[in-house]
Structure 1
Amino acid sequence: MSEFEALPIVCKDGYQLAARFYAHTNKEKQNLPVLICPATGITKQFYHSFATWLSEQGFDVMVFDFRGIGESLHGQLKDSTASIVQWGELDIPAAIDVLLNKTHAQQVYLLGHSAGGQLMGVNANHHKVAKVVAVSGSSGHIKGLKGRTKILAPIMFKGIFPLARLTLGYGPTNAIGMGENLPKDVAREWAQFCSKPGYILNAVGKTIHEDFHSKVHTPITVLWSSDDEIATEANVRDLLRLYPNAHTDMIELKPASYNHKMIGHMLMFKKSHQNLWPVIAKQLLIAS
């Protein structure tokens, strides 16, 4: 028997996303299901082990590929018109509705990784989310970066992406070890949003015409690691300030405290770091 059920998600504009549903395998079912929203360029397969573990803890879980990524890419990448704005305005709201319909729940827990936890302010279904746990969630502001990423990001945003848009028709992130290659508008918006404080707020009034940031009352907790070069403390604070009417919390994890040499931006969902999974699950159940 498969560990998951393949589910289609049809968005308001008719675009179809690929998703996996992991039914709870613990007889003590948790009240609300979990929607895992991936990081930029990361496919649902990356979260398979973690989603399976969550289902063993009694959660119904769904994870999906954003449009233009993984099995939610239809046709050639260079022809994709997917954008980060569409991820927040169309993909996440549709995923929430599909998960609620599947589980007959009233709300979901939204577990967002990086970009997946940064789009509540453009999500019209924000009121259907009981709590957000944003793993490595931040604004990604270029001036708040540190380490090697602080050097490489300007090269990628100002050099590689604009050139590749003209020559390849997409953002070649796979070649530099940053997940799947990106649709050209995802790459463009990523550079745009991270160039100034406030992330997606930089698109309000331009490509975004419905801004829900001040209307979000959903509690938001960010879990980030002290060695994360993108979700630094400054960038986590920069994200959370966008939600003035939500209860927000920041929890910093230090690798040595969990017997790891590093955690960084990506490792919390790896089997090698599964001793962190109960820390994440605990935050889902803590009401703010």
Structure 2
Amino acid sequence: MTVSAPIQEARPIEIVAADDVVLGGHFWPRVRGTAAGIAIINPATGVLARYYHHYARFLAAHGFDVVTYDYRGIGASRPANLRGCGYRWREWGDKDFDAVLAWALARDGSAPVCVVGHSVGGALPGLAGHAPAIHRLLSIGGQFGCWRHYAPSRRRRLFLKWHVAMPALTALCGYFPGRRLGWLEDLPAGVAYEWAFRRPYLEDNYPQRQCEAVLRGFDAVTAPILAVTLSDDDIATVPAIRAVLDRYRGAPRTQVLLRPADLGQESVGHFSLFHSRHATGFWLDTLLWLRDGVNPWPDREVR
């Protein structure tokens, strides 16, 4: 199946978070067909929103209004001076994603809002106050990046990179200079440290009072969740994704483990599912979940 639809240009938008931080993004109106709802794409850590623009255009061609955006400290939401910036993952969820979700709900309160969360983007809904309004969540490699959950064969190398080199460089520069190294985008110091010193489970990373509030937020999410990982993803392994999924205790949850061969590829890893070569395969399959709530890979469920 192929898509022949006019190329839809997005319009730039700005969304103001509750603490007056301005987030830059794009809105992609649906091209044609029956309205399927609104889709919000949550990026991975250190990945620009424009990385997801091909997939956003695809969703717009299939009936979704789509919102892409950069978290505070990244891309179009980067401040003039990133040095010493204390932005943290929690703010990406309870302020940034929450503001984008509120914006989408205000635009059309009757339209179902679906979320596509890549990597940390699949975990952030649990931190957002408006998350009970989410209709459906597709989590792709959704996890928080704890080294204990990395693939054993790559654990030492990834530990040295993200949990030794990254915090050391962040302390030296006042932010993580990822772009200069070719290691994702630059990161605010708070995000870099939170990733570097992450403990395995959510409740291990907050003082008790904060932890209780965070867990209540995850419990409030009731949208069905389909969580995808790839067998060759060294970061978002089955245990890494399970550690997040288990905290969404109020939601129906399904986890699937795909092999690259299932997608006609030799390798996929943590990032390439958003490359346009998947438009006639994996991307079409995601529509079954986002529009209809049907798991396209029932024989790949993790029990």
Distance 1:220 1:280 in 2: 12
In the aligned structure 2, how far is the partner of 1:148 from the partner of 1:179? 22
Mapping of 1:93-112 within 5 angstroms? 93-112=98-117
Q: Indicate the residue corresponding to 1:10 in structure 2.
A: 16
**Does the 8 A contact of 1:226 with 1:252 survive in 2?**
yes
Q: Does 1:202 align with 2:205?
A: yes
- 1:217 matches 2:217: no
Q: CA deviation at 1:66?
A: 0.3
User: Could you tell me which of 41, 45, 51 is aligned with 1:46?
Assistant: 51
Q: Which runs of 5+ in 2 are unaligned?
A: 1-6, 295-303
Cα distance, 1:272–1:177 mapped onto 2, change above 3 Å: farther
Counterpart AA for 1:108: V
For 1:63, the equivalent position in structure 2 comes to 68
Task: Find the counterpart in structure 1 of residue 146 from structure 2.
Answer: 141
Contact 1:136–1:231 (8 Å) recurs in 2: yes
Matched ranges for 1:177-192 at <5 A: 177-192=182-197
- 1:146 and 1:176 map into 2 onto residues whose CA distance is 23
CA separation in 2, counterparts of 1:285 and 1:158? 39
Residues 167 and 196, structure 2, Cα contact 8 Å, conserved in 1: no
2:174 matched to 1:169? yes
Query: CA contact under 8 A between 2:43 and 2:70: conserved in structure 1?
Result: yes
C-alpha RMSD of matched pairs (Å): 2.1
Read off the aligned partner of 1:190 and give its amino acid letter: W
User: Aligned-pair distance for 1:206?
Assistant: 7.0
Distance 2:211 2:110 in 1: 29
| 8 Å Cα contact 1:24/1:60 also seen in 2 | yes
- 1:87-121 Cα shifts (integer Å, max 9, x gaps): 01100110011122234435410110001111222
Distance in structure 1 (CA, Å) of the matches to 2:221 and 2:33: 33
2:130 corresponds to which of 125, 135, 149: 125
Paired residue for 1:150, among 152, 155, 158? 155
Q: Call closer, same or farther: CA 1:261–1:94 in 2, change over 3 Å.
A: same
Flag structure 1 segments of 5+ consecutive residues without an equivalent. none
Asked if the contact 2:164–2:196 (Cα under 8 Å) also holds between the matched residues in 1, the reply is no
**Does the CA-based 8 Å contact 1:73-1:80 persist in structure 2?**
no
TM-score, normalised by the number of residues in structure 2: 0.87
- Residue 28 of structure 1 is matched in structure 2 by 34
The residue identity in structure 1 corresponding to 2:23 is L
- Residue 279 of structure 1: CA displacement? 1.8
Length-normalised TM-score, structure 1: 0.91
Match 1:281 to one of 262, 283, 287: 287
* 8 Å contact kept, 2:143–2:236: yes
1:200 and 1:244 map into 2 onto residues whose CA distance is 14
Q: Structure 1's 116 and 71: CA in aligned 2 closer, same or farther, altered over 3 A?
A: same
Work out the number of aligned pairs and report it.
Answer: 285
Following TM superposition, by how much is the alpha carbon of 1:162 offset from its aligned partner in structure 2, in angstroms? 2.8
Shift of residue 154 of structure 1? 1.9
Tell me if the contact between 1:198 and 1:242 (Cα under 8 Å) persists in the aligned partners: no
* Displacement of 1:166: 2.4
* Mapped partners of 2:137, 2:267: distance in 1: 24
**2:232–2:268 CA contact under 8 A, matched in 1:** yes
The separation in 1 between residues aligned to 2:8 and 2:82, in whole angstroms, is: 29
**Partner-residue secondary structure (3-state), 1:263:** coil
CA distance in 2, matches of 1:27, 1:162: 48
Q: What percentage of aligned pairs have identical amino acids? A: 27
Q: Secondary structure at the match of 1:98?
A: helix
Aligned-partner SS, 1:132: strand
